[in-house]
C-alpha cells in the first residue's frame, strides 16, 4: 500500500495560518498531541470494558514523550487504539482539515485578535507550528490491522505507506524547525508538560534520548520485575574483635552481609492521573486539600478554607476553590483559577467562565461540558457558560453564609483576610451581593465584629441610624480617642475597597447614614448651648474667625467655635463627608490637575471655646505670642488629622523651637 495525495483543503497552504494563529502559545502542541494519546488510550479502555478487546496481561497504558536534542526531534508514543489506514485517511487527511477550514471560515476576519481559547479543533496539526516534518506510525488495535506510516513536510502534500509498528498505538515524531528547538530541551519539555498535562488521566513519562543513563540503588527486597538490574552491590558483614568470658579474643558479627541492587532509574510520571477534585469530598482529608494546594499553587502559606465543587447535573463540573491568606489591600491581590476540560488544562483565569471577583481565589475547575472550540466573545454570550458561572458564585456564597450562621467564630477569624474578596464580590455581582448581604460584618472600636443591624442596635441610644467609620487609623487617632472617651462606636473601613464599598452600603441601607469619624463633630462631644449663650458668644466667634484668617493668611478659611466637653482639646480639623469622598475619588481615578480646592472649601478649623489656649488667644489678640499660638493651633489640628506639607512642617518645627525658648526664658 502506498498513497500519495494532496490534503483535502481549499486554502492554498494552511500551515502559515496555523503558525500565525497559534503564535502566542506555541507550546500548545504538547497538550494537543498528549491529549490525543490520552483519548486513544481512553477509547481502548472503553472497548476493553465493553468486552470488545482483551488487554494483554503485561500491557500498561502510558504515554511516552521522548526529546532528542541531537536529532532535534520530539516523539510522542501512546499505546492506545491506533488507526487503520482508512482512519488515518479520514481523521488526519480529511477531517482534521475540515475542522481547520471551519475554524478559518469562522475567524478569518479576526485573524489579529487574540480570541481563541484553546485553539481546539486543530489538534494534531498544531504539530506544524514547531515542526518542518511530522511522521505518524500507527497500528490499530483491530485484529489483522496493518501498520501505517504517514508523513508530511508541512506543505499540502502527504505520503502514506505500509509501516512497521508492531504494537497497537500511535507514535508521532516531530522534526523541529530551527525556531522551535527549545522544545526538545528536556527541561523546557518538562515545564510545558507540567503546565498542560499535570492532571491528564494517563501516566506520562518524559525521557531525554541524549541524557546519560541514570541509576538508583534499592534494597534487595524492593526489587520488582519491572526493574533492570545493572549491578548487585554486596556489602560484607561488619565484624569486631571482642573478648569472651574466658578472656579470649573472638570475632563477632555486628551487622550481617547485605545485598543491594543498582538499577536503571525507575521512571516517574510527570502527572497525577487522579487529581483530588475527582475524589468525593467526603473522602478527602484536610491534609490532602492542603497538599494539593501547595503542589498546584506553590503557595506555602496555608489556605484558610476551601470549597469542593462536585456537580453532575444539569452539567458536569468539579473543582476546588481555595480562599488564600491575604490580609493586604485588594488591588494587589491576584488569584489563579485554573480551568480544565476533562483533566486537560485550558487556561488560567478565563473570565467568561469564572466571575471576575472569584479570580481573587485560587483553585481548579474541571468542566468537561465546556464548549471550548468557540471564541471568547461567543463564550461570553453563551447561556450555558453563564449557568456555570452562576453555579460557582452560588456555591461560594452558600459556603460563606453557611459559615457565618454555623461557625461565626471562624468566620470572624477569617474576616480580615476574606473581606476584600467579599466586598469586591458585592460590588461586582448583584446576586452574590444579595446572598451575602446579611453576612457582612464590620470590626468595631472594641475589636468586635458586628453586622450593620447589630451596629445599629448597639448604638441606637447614642446615634440612631448612623454608623461612623474610620478610614485611616493613624490620621484619625484623635477622633478615635474622643469616640472611645465618649463611649461611642465606629467601625474600621480602612482598605482601598472600602471607599467604593461605603457607597454600596448606603445604597443597600437607605435609612442609615454612614459618616466618616472625622466628618463632623457629633453633638455628643459638645456642650448644650442655649440660644442666649449663642448670642453672647457671637462676638467672640467672629473675633476668633477674623483673627485666625488674618494670621494664617486664609481669607476663606472655615472656622467653627464649639464648646467641647473635653477641655483639653484645643483645635481640630473636620472634613465634610462629601468633599472627603470627592477627594478619595479623585485619588482613586488620579485625575490630574484637579485638587480639592476646585470644589470649594473642604476643611473646617474647629476651635474649642472651653480650652484655655483658645481663651487666651481671644483675650490677647495683640499679645506678642498670639500669632505663633494661632499658627501652632492650626498646624496641630492638621497634624492630628493627617500630615503637613514639607514646607509647613519646616515652619512648624522652627516655631515649636521658638515657643520652647519662650518657655525656657519665662
Ligand atoms: N494518537 C492518536 N491515536 C489514535 N487516533 C488519533 C491520535 N491522534 C489523532 N487521532 C485521530 O485523529 C483525529 C483528529 O485529531 P485532532 O487532534 O486533529 O482532532 P481531535 O482530537 O478530534 O479534536 P481536538 O484536538 O480539537 O479535540 C482524532 O479525532 C482521532 O480520531
Answer yes or no: is pLDDT of 514 > 60: yes
Question: What is the model's pLDDT at position 294?
Answer: 92
Counting residues of the chain whose pLDDT is more than 70, the rounded percentage is 85
Question: What is the model's pLDDT at position 348?
Answer: 83
Residue (of 76, 72, 75, 67) closest to 207 by Cα position? 67
Question: What is the model's pLDDT at position 257?
Answer: 83
Question: What is the model's pLDDT at position 112?
Answer: 40
Q: Is 170 in the pocket of ligand 1 (CB under 6 A)?
A: yes
Q: Is 169 in the pocket of ligand 1 (CB under 6 A)?
A: no
Question: What is the model's pLDDT at position 7?
Answer: 57
- Determine the residue of 124, 163, 371 to mutate for testing ligand 1's pocket, defined as the one with the most ligand atoms within 8 A of the Cβ atom: 124
Q: Is 124 in the pocket of ligand 1 (CB under 6 A)?
A: yes
Mean pLDDT: which of 136-145, 413-422, 597-606 is highest?
136-145
Nearest CA to ligand 1 atom 17: 123
User: How far away, in angstroms, is 139 Cα from ligand 1 center?
Assistant: 15
pLDDT digits (tens, 9 = 90+) for 93-124: 875 555 555 555 655 554 444 444 344 456 78
Q: Is 80 in the pocket of ligand 1 (CB under 6 A)?
A: yes
Q: Which residue has the higher pLDDT, 272 or 96?
A: 272
Q: Is the ipTM of this complex over 0.85?
A: yes
Question: What is the model's pLDDT at position 602?
Answer: 73
Question: What is the model's pLDDT at position 93?
Answer: 81
List Cα–Cα distances, 451 to 394, 437, 440, 443, 491, in angstroms.
Answer: 21, 9, 6, 9, 10
pLDDT digits (tens, 9 = 90+) for 215-253: 999 988 899 888 899 989 888 888 888 888 888 888 888
How would residue 529 be classed by pLDDT, with cut points 50, 70 and 90?
confident
User: How far away, in angstroms, is 82 Cα from ligand 1 center?
Assistant: 10
- Determine the residue of 40, 121, 123 to mutate for testing ligand 1's pocket, defined as the one with the most ligand atoms within 8 A of the Cβ atom: 123
The mean-pLDDT minimum among 42-46, 227-231, 281-285, 323-327 falls in: 323-327
User: How far away, in angstroms, is 280 Cα from ligand 1 center?
Assistant: 31
Q: Which residue has the higher pLDDT, 320 or 379?
A: 320
Question: What is the model's pLDDT at position 26?
Answer: 79
Where do you find CATH 3.30.230.80 in the chain? 276-406
Q: Which residue has the higher pLDDT, 218 or 527?
A: 218
User: How far away, in angstroms, is 36 Cα from ligand 1 center?
Assistant: 5
CATH 1.20.120.790 fits 525-665, yes or no: yes
Instruction: For domain 441-517, give the CATH number.
Output: 3.40.50.11260
HEC secondary structure over 502-549: HHHHHHHCCCCEEEECCCCCCHHHECCCCHHHHHHHHHHHHHHHHHHH
Question: What is the model's pLDDT at position 495?
Answer: 85
Residue (of 505, 328, 356, 502) closest to 419 by Cα position? 328
Q: Which residue has the higher pLDDT, 181 or 379?
A: 181
Where do you find CATH 3.30.565.10 in the chain? 2-208
Q: What is the mean pLDDT of residues 83-92?
A: 91
Report domain 276-406's class.
alpha beta
Question: What is the model's pLDDT at position 11?
Answer: 46
Where do you find CATH 1.20.120.790 in the chain? 525-665
- Determine the residue of 91, 139, 340, 344 to mutate for testing ligand 1's pocket, defined as the one with the most ligand atoms within 8 A of the Cβ atom: 91
List Cα–Cα distances, 309 to 264, 302, 321, 464, 488, in angstroms.
Answer: 41, 20, 8, 43, 44
pTM of the predicted model as reported, rounded to 2 decimal places: 0.75
DSSP string of 190-259? HHHHHHHHTT-SS-EEEEETTSPP-EEEEEGGG--TT--EEEEEEEPPEEEEEE-TTS-EEEEEEE--EE
The mean-pLDDT minimum among 105-119, 181-195, 629-643, 651-665 falls in: 105-119
Please calculate the CA angle 16-17-19 and round it to the nearest 5 degrees. Answer: 65
pLDDT digits (tens, 9 = 90+) for 195-212: 999 999 999 999 999 999
Nearest CA to ligand 1 atom 31: 91
Nearest CA to ligand 1 atom 12: 91
Q: What is the mean pLDDT of residues 517-525?
A: 74
How would residue 421 be classed by pLDDT, with cut points 50, 70 and 90?
confident
pLDDT digits (tens, 9 = 90+) for 287-319: 999 999 999 998 888 999 999 999 888 889 999
Compute the distance between CA of residue 355 and CA of residue 433 in angstroms, rounded to an integer. Answer: 13
Q: Is 32 in the pocket of ligand 1 (CB under 6 A)?
A: yes
Indicate the average pLDDT of the chain. 85
| CATH of range 2-208; options 3.30.499.10, 3.30.565.10, 3.40.50.300, 3.90.550.10 | 3.30.565.10
Q: Is 97 in the pocket of ligand 1 (CB under 6 A)?
A: no
How would residue 268 be classed by pLDDT, with cut points 50, 70 and 90?
very high
User: Given the CA of residue 96, which atom of ligand 1 is nearest to it?
Assistant: 18
Residue (of 95, 106, 127, 152) closest to 19 by Cα position? 127
Question: What is the model's pLDDT at position 276?
Answer: 97
Q: What is the mean pLDDT of residues 346-374?
A: 82
Nearest CA to ligand 1 atom 9: 36
Answer yes or no: is pLDDT of 579 > 90: no
Q: Is 425 in the pocket of ligand 1 (CB under 6 A)?
A: no
Nearest CA to ligand 1 atom 11: 91
Question: What is the model's pLDDT at position 115?
Answer: 40
pLDDT digits (tens, 9 = 90+) for 375-398: 555 666 677 788 888 999 999 999
Compute the distance between CA of residue 229 and CA of residue 216 in angstroms, rounded to an integer. Answer: 10
Question: What is the model's pLDDT at position 331?
Answer: 45
Enumerate residues 6+ apart whose C-beta is below 8 A from 242. 249, 250, 251, 252
Residue (of 65, 64, 66, 62) closest to 42 by Cα position? 62
Question: What is the model's pLDDT at position 47?
Answer: 92
User: How far away, in angstroms, is 123 Cα from ligand 1 center?
Assistant: 6
Nearest CA to ligand 1 atom 19: 123
Compute the distance between CA of residue 199 and CA of residue 618 in angstroms, rounded to an integer. Answer: 79
User: How far away, in angstroms, is 84 Cα from ligand 1 center?
Assistant: 13
Q: Judging by beta carbons within 10 Å of its beta carbon (0-12, 13-18, 19+), is residue 598 exposed, middle or buried?
A: exposed
- Determine the residue of 36, 92, 148 to mutate for testing ligand 1's pocket, defined as the one with the most ligand atoms within 8 A of the Cβ atom: 36
pLDDT digits (tens, 9 = 90+) for 56-80: 999 999 999 999 999 999 999 999 9
Mean pLDDT: which of 28-37, 67-76, 128-137, 466-475 is highest?
67-76
Amino acid at each position: 500500500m502506498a498513497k500519495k495525495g494532496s490534503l483535502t483543503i481549499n486554502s492554498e497552504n494552511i500551515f502559515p495560518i496555523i503558525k500565525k494563529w497559534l503564535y502566542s502559545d506555541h507550546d500548545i502542541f504538547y497538550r494537543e498531541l498528549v491529549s490525543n494519546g490520552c483519548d486513544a488510550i481512553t477509547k481502548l479502555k472503553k472497548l476493553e470494558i465493553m468486552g470488545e478487546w482483551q488487554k494483554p496481561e503485561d500491557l500498561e497504558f502510558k504515554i511516552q514523550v521522548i526529546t532528542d536534542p541531537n536529532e532535534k526531534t520530539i516523539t510522542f508514543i501512546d499505546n492506545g487504539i491506533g488507526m487503520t489506514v482508512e482512519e488515518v485517511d479520514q481523521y488526519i487527511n480529511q477531517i482534521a482539515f475540515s475542522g481547520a477550514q471551519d475554524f478559518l471560515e469562522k475567524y478569518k476576519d479576526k485573524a489579529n485578535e487574540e480570541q481563541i481559547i484553546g485553539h481546539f479543533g486543530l489538534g494534531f496539526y498544531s504539530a506544524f507550528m514547531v515542526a518542518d516534518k511530522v511522521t505518524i506510525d500507527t497500528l490499530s488495535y483491530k485484529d489483522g490491522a496493518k501498520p501505517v506510516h504517514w508523513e508530511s513536510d508541512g506543505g499540502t502534500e502527504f505520503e502514506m505507506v505500509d509501516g512497521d509498528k508492531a504494537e497497537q498505538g500511535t507514535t508521532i515524531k516531530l522534526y523541529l524547525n530551527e525556531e522551535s528547538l527549545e522544545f526538545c530541551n528536556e527541561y523546557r519539555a518538562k515545564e510545558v508538560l507540567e503546565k498542560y498535562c499535570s492532571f491528564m488521566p494517563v501516566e506520562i513519562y518524559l525521557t531525554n534520548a541524549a541524557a546519560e543513563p541514570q541509576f538508583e540503588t534499592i534494597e534487595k527486597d524492593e526489587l520488582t520485575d519491572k526493574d533492570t538490574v545493572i549491578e548487585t552491590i554486596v556489602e560484607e558483614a561488619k565484624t569486631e574483635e571482642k573478648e569472651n568470658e574466658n578472656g579470649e579474643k573472638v570475632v563477632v558479627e555486628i551487622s550481617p552481609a547485605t545485598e543491594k541492587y543498582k538499577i536503571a532509574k525507575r521512571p516517574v510520571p510527570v502527572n497525577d492521573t487522579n487529581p483530588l477534585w475527582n475524589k468525593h469530598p467526603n473522602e478527602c482529608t484536610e491534609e490532602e486539600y492542603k497538599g494539593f494546594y501547595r503542589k498546584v499553587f506553590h503557595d506555602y502559606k496555608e489556605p484558610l478554607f476551601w470549597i469542593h465543587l462536585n456537580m453532575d447535573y444539569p452539567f458536569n463540573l468539579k473543582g476546588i476553590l481555595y480562599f488564600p491568606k491575604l490580609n493586604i489591600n485588594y488591588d494587589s491581590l491576584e488569584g489563579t483559577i485554573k480551568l480544565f476540560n476533562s483533566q486537560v488544562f485550558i487556561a488560567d483565569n478565563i473570565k467568561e467562565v469564572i466571575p471576575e471577583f472569584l479570580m481573587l481565589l485560587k483553585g481548579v475547575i474541571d468542566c468537561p461540558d465546556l464548549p471550548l472550540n468557540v471564541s471568547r466573545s461567543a463564550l461570553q454570550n453563551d447561556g450555558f457558560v453563564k449557568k456555570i458561572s452562576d453555579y460557582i458564585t452560588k456555591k461560594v456564597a452558600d459556603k460563606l453564609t453557611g459559615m457565618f450562621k454555623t461557625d461565626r467564630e471562624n468566620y470572624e477569624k477569617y474576616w480580615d483576610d476574606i473581606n476584600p474578596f467579599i466586598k469586591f464580590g458585592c460590588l461586582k455581582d448583584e446576586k452574590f451581593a444579595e446572598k451575602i448581604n446579611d453576612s457582612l460584618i464590620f470590626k468595631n472600636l472594641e475589636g468586635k465584629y458586628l453586622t450593620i443591624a447589630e451596629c445599629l442596635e448597639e448604638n441606637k441610644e447614642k446615634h440612631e441610624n448612623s454608623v461612623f467609620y474610620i478610614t485611616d487609623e493613624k490620621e484619625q487617632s484623635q477622633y478615635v480617642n474622643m469616640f472611645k472617651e465618649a463611649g461611642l462606636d465606629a467601625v474600621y473601613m480602612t482598605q482601598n475597597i472600602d471607599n467604593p464599598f461605603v457607597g454600596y452600603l448606603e445604597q443597600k441601607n437607605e435609612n442609615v447614614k454612614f459618616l466618616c469619624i472625622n466628618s463632623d463633630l457629633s453633638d455628643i462631644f459638645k456642650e448644650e448651648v442655649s440660644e442666649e449663650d449663642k448670642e453672647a458668644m457671637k462676638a467672640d466667634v467672629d473675633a476668633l474667625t477674623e483673627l485666625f484668617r488674618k494670621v494664617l493668611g486664609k481669607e476663606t478659611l472655615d472656622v467653627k467655635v464649639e464648646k467641647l466637653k473635653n477641655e483639653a482639646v484645643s483645635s481640630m480639623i473636620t472634613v465634610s463627608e462629601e468633599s472627603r469622598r470627592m477627594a478619595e475619588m479623585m485619588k482613586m481615578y488620579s485625575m490630574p490637575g484637579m485638587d480639592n480646592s476646585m470644589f470649594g472649601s473642604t476643611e473646617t478649623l474647629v476651635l474649642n471655646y472651653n480650652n484655655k489656649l483658645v481663651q487666651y488667644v481671644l483675650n490677647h489678640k495683640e499679645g506678642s505670642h498670639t500669632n505663633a499660638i494661632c499658627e501652632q493651633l492650626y498646624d496641630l489640628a492638621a497634624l492630628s488629622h493627617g500630615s503637613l506639607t514639607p514646607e509647613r512642617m519646616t515652619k512648624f518645627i522652627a516655631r515649636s523651637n521658638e515657643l520652647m525658648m519662650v518657655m525656657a526664658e519665662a
